[in-house]
Every structure is written in structure tokens, then in C-alpha cells.
Amino acid sequence: MQTRNKIFDDISQLMTNAMGVAQGARDEAETAMKGMMDRWLADRDFVTREEFDAVRAMAQKAREENEALKARLDALEAKQD
């Protein structure tokens, strides 16, 4: 009986080690894939979401300033006529 428990213990230890190796391989593959995707995206000159939002906010502010200046110009032209 003692030998049988030793065999089950060895098999259990082997399976535990195999799962650890599989998890390590998964993490390594995930890191490699993320790095590859980051390089691919960088080569395509895509912008990040933060950069896009910043430029969009700047464009919105410029549009609002443009509309305010147009209204002011229209008012000045109306006074001149």
C-alpha cells in the first residue's frame, strides 16, 4: 500500500509541475504577443486614446473660440453699418 501512495504522490507532483510550466509558457506567450502588437501599432503611427481625446478637446476649444470671435466680429460690423 505504501508503494501505491508513493506512485500517486509522484504523479500528483508531476502534474503540479506540468501545470506550473504550462502557466509560465502562457505568461511568456502573452507577453511576447503584447510586445509584438505594441510594435505593430507603433509602426502604423496610430495614436493612443489619451492623445486622441486631448486633440479633440483642443479642437472643441478652438471651435468655441472661433464662434465667439465670429459673433464679436458680426456685432462690430453691425455697429459700423
pLDDT in tens, 21-75: 889 899 999 999 999 998 887 888 888 899 999 999 999 999 999 999 999 999 9
* Residue 3's pLDDT band (cuts 50, 70, 90): low
Please give the pLDDT value at position 6. 86
Annotate 11-22 with b (16+ C-beta within 10 A) or e (fewer). Answer: eeeeeeeeeeee
Task: List CB contacts of 55: < 8 A, sequence separation 6 or more.
Answer: 47
Please give the pLDDT value at position 2. 57
